[in-house]
Amino acid sequence: MPRKKFVAGNWKMNTTLAEAKALGSAIAQGVGSSSKVDVAVCPPFPWLVSVSEVLKGSSVALGAQDVHNEAKGAFTGEVSTGMLKEAGCKYVIVGHSERRHILGESDLTVHLKLHAAVEAGMHVILCVGETLVERERNLAERVFQRQVYSALAGITDEQWPLIVIAYEPVWAIGTGRTATPEQAQLAHLFIRSKLQSMHGEKIANALPILYGGSVTPETAGGLFSQPDVDGGLVGGASLKADQFLAIVKAAGA
């Protein structure tokens, strides 16, 4: 079965409440109640409940940008899977490079968060990707192979359908320097072939691998036409409804 394309918007630390509601409404209206493409938006934590309201009746799913691995307790500032689910989230992004590199998240932390999320039945968008220095030193494949392996170690057969990988080269995020479709395809194929040798063809072929890093309406078509690019995780261009909807359209909606 061909993999369904998936486009997710990562709003990061942007939008006021009014902007978030307007953006969510415009995307919900543009996508409608059914779509050939899976679509999700990931607003900041304080806006999740309000955005969930405006998405009602549409096929746009809600996601969070991060989660803590513990279920509750003395973890000041953190948010649990239970809270996210109650706020209406189906998805959660785990291991975004901004969390790994700016906030110092380790592979172990990413592993624990990912496992907590799938154990709670949430869908996870696991971000992996190399920095510019790592690419220049020919370490790129080693880096994202390590990130994929460590995050996904111990995933059970029932949990695999909850996993989405986003390949996001750090040098392409927010820089306007999109990876070429060929660079993205090579990385995605590498990840898929490693998953295949570790977990078998069925799991590797079913798993969506998104590309992220300066995806725009102009670059989306070329990227999404690659056989192993199953959609995009979009930052900057997800903050403008018309641009985000054009990217969803490029994915085949």
Nearer to ligand PGA among residue 172 and residue 207 (C-beta):
172
Return the range that interacts with ligand PGA (CB under 6 A); candidates 13-21, 148-156, 201-209, 212-220: 212-220
- Which of 40, 55, 92, 215 binds ligand PGA (CB under 6 A)? It is 215
57 binds ligand PGA (CB under 6 A): no
- Which of 24, 43, 169, 212 binds ligand PGA (CB under 6 A)? It is 212
CB 244 within 8 A of CB 237: yes
234 binds ligand PGA (CB under 6 A): yes
Rounded distance between C-alpha atoms, residue 185 and residue 193, angstroms: 12
208 binds ligand PGA (CB under 6 A): no
Return the range that interacts with ligand PGA (CB under 6 A); candidates 15-23, 32-40, 52-60, 166-174: 166-174
Q: Which amino acid type is present at position 53?
A: E
DSSP H helices, the chain, are: 17-31, 48-55, 81-86, 97-101, 107-119, 132-136, 140-152, 181-199, 201-206, 217-224, 241-250
> What separation, in Å, do the N-terminal and C-terminal C-alpha atoms of the chain show?
18
Q: How far is the CB of 171 from ligand PGA (least distance, A)?
A: 10
Nearer to ligand PGA among residue 109 and residue 238 (C-beta):
238
CB 244 within 8 A of CB 9: yes
10 binds ligand PGA (CB under 6 A): yes
209 binds ligand PGA (CB under 6 A): no
151 binds ligand PGA (CB under 6 A): no
162 binds ligand PGA (CB under 6 A): no
Nearer to ligand PGA among residue 126 and residue 215 (C-beta):
215
Identify which of 247, 238, 253, 212 has the alpha carbon closest to the alpha carbon of residue 41: 238
236 binds ligand PGA (CB under 6 A): yes
Identify which of 249, 236, 216, 232 has the alpha carbon closest to the alpha carbon of residue 13: 236
Residue 230's Cβ-count burial label (10 Å; 0-12, 13-18, 19+) is buried
Q: Helix, strand, or coil here: 245?
A: helix
Query: Annotated catalytic sites, by residue?
Result: 96, 168
Residues at the site binding ligand PGA, with contacts judged by CB under 6 A: 10, 168, 173-174, 212-215, 233-237
